[in-house]
Amino acid sequence: MPARRPIRILRLVARLNIGGPAVHLGVLAEQLHPPDYETLTVTGAEGADEGNYFALMGRDVTNLRVIPALGREIHPLRDLATLRAVLGLIREFRPDIVDTHTAKAGTLGRLAAWWCRVPAVHTFHGHVFHGYFSPMKTRVFVGIERWLARQTACLIAVSEAVRRDVLAAGVGTATRFEVVSLGLDLAPFEQAEQHRGVLRRDLGLPADAPLVGIVARLVPIKQHALFLDVAARLVALGSPAHMVIVGDGECRAQVERGIAARGLGQRVHLVGWRSDLPVIYADCDVVLLTSKNEGSPVALIEAHAAACPVVATRVGGVPDVVVDGETGWLRDDGDAEGLAAATARLLANDDERRRFGAAGRRRAVSLFGAGRLGRDMDRLYRSLLEGGQS
């Protein structure tokens, strides 16, 4: 009996910068592998201030093709050349499914798949329908996404909130949407306690110094100015807490100016990208996230797995990860006073921190593991190829 050939997946992403989509693709590569799957990953180039997730983690991507112009910036002539390149890869690789991630790769990849009559799957890790562009540009993007959705065999959202938002914009239909939550390798975070004390020593802090952390790209949507407003309020309340900002990006100079303007130079520590995130979470008494919008917050899933309580803005897919009053506290976007009060409450209450941390770990491990993501995507791909998806 002849051996069954592997399912071929052509996976496209605009860039493998440090963030959720790259983490997601890394897990998919580890979970869906030969002999059952053969994957070709196609990506663009990262911006100069973004960093590459796999380089940071010291990992390789097997069977990778780089088309530099597939990156984030829109340029009609280069994008047309990129579309031709993707069409050539489809004809060369002959995938069973084209699987796209991020907006630009989703546009060019699905156009090419439609032209070649290959079923396409697109994952919304978030969306650009508010908080990113002007109203006119947003309307253009929504119109493009509506047309593309009609040519896509299956649309995936990483959280129920993302699914609701995309459908509310008139993109896709409920019958063509699936929610597939992120899946991460959480084992290193479950062992984070063994690293306790390392970060405080690195920062030159006393072993008992309260520490509040944020792990996020330094980009506008993450609203580090709001984080600094919270930090300033904590200091004004008399808290001895120090704050650590993990990440880098286009807003670094702006963040540095914000630290200086608020007189927080001795309290806020800007450490850039770190590959040893379990070390970070091990010493954080509270992890804070101040985003204006989120698809599914990787940092909060990791923090939960490390048994670290969180305080975050109640936006996008954050409530799908954080249970308010059970694994952390949620406050409205822009509510610096409320975020500061919730953070101060956790810092002052050891029992609540331990209770929230334990509940967060149970939730993260049960819902957001790598194995679960692999099983979900294997089921979805096979259903699509067997005609089970309209």
| AA identity, residue 286 | V
Burial of 347: CB neighbours in 10 Å, binned 0-12, 13-18, 19+: buried
Amino acid 3: pLDDT? 55
In angstroms, the CA 190 to CA 104 distance is 35
The pLDDT of residue 1 is above 60: no
The beta strands (E) that lie in the chain are given as: 7-13, 37-43, 64-66, 97-101, 120-124, 154-157, 177-179, 211-215, 242-246, 268-272, 286-289, 310-313, 328-331
How does DSSP classify residue 184? Answer: B
Q: What is the mean pLDDT of residues 130-146?
A: 77
- What digits encode the pLDDT tens for the residues 280-318? 999 999 999 999 999 999 999 999 999 999 999 999 999
| AA identity, residue 381 | Y
- Architecture (CATH level 2) of domain 7-184+369-385: 3-Layer(aba) Sandwich (3.40)
Q: Which two tokens stand for residue 99?
A: 């699987």
Nearby residues of 123 by Cβ (< 8 Å), 6 or more positions away: 21, 24, 99, 100, 101, 156, 157, 158, 180
Amino acid 388: pLDDT? 47
The pLDDT of residue 196 is above 50: yes
- What digits encode the pLDDT tens for the residues 208-228? 999 999 999 999 999 999 999
Nearby residues of 26 by Cβ (< 8 Å), 6 or more positions away: 53, 54, 57, 59, 61
Amino acid 50: pLDDT? 84
Looking at 69-78, 140-149, 196-205, 207-216, which range is the least confident one?
69-78
* pTM, rounded to two decimals: 0.91
Quote the radius of gyration of the chain (alpha carbons, Å).
Answer: 21
Nearby residues of 273 by Cβ (< 8 Å), 6 or more positions away: 18, 51, 56, 246, 247, 248
How distant, in Å, are the alpha carbons of 17, 42, 76, 77, 129 from that of 83? 21, 12, 10, 10, 24
Locus of tokens 């670290």: 308
Closest among 359, 195, 362, 360 to 284, alpha carbons compared: 195
| AA identity, residue 18 | I
How does DSSP classify residue 2? Answer: P
Identify the band that residue 58 occupies on the pLDDT scale cut at 50, 70 and 90: confident
Cis upstream peptide for 35 (omega within 30°) = yes
| AA identity, residue 316 | G
The mean pLDDT value of the chain amounts to 93
How distant, in Å, are the alpha carbons of 82, 243, 271, 296, 374 from that of 318? 34, 21, 25, 6, 22
Identify the band that residue 132 occupies on the pLDDT scale cut at 50, 70 and 90: low
Count of residues making up the chain: 390
Amino acid 387: pLDDT? 77
How distant, in Å, are the alpha carbons of 205, 231, 240, 242, 269 from that of 266? 11, 12, 11, 8, 8
Instruction: Supply φ then ψ for residue 249, to 5 degrees.
Output: 150, -170
120-124 vs 154-157, strand pairing mode: parallel
The pLDDT of residue 229 is above 60: yes
- What digits encode the pLDDT tens for the residues 17-35? 988 899 999 999 999 999 9
Locus of tokens 């004809």: 91
Q: What is the mean pLDDT of residues 234-263?
A: 97
Task: Name the CATH superfamily housing domain 187-367.
Answer: Glycogen Phosphorylase B; (3.40.50.2000)
DSSP letter string over 336-367?
Answer: HHHHHHHHHHHHH-HHHHHHHHHHHHHHHHHH
* Under 8 Å between Cβ of 386 and 7: no
- What digits encode the pLDDT tens for the residues 324-341? 999 999 999 999 999 999
In angstroms, the CA 15 to CA 98 distance is 16
* Under 8 Å between Cβ of 159 and 315: no
Element housing 80 (H / E): helix 76-93
- What digits encode the pLDDT tens for the residues 259-285? 999 999 999 999 999 999 999 999 999
Every domain range in the chain assigned CATH 3.40.50.2000: 7-184+369-385, 187-367
Instruction: Supply φ then ψ for residue 210, to 5 degrees.
Output: -60, 140
* Under 8 Å between Cβ of 70 and 38: no
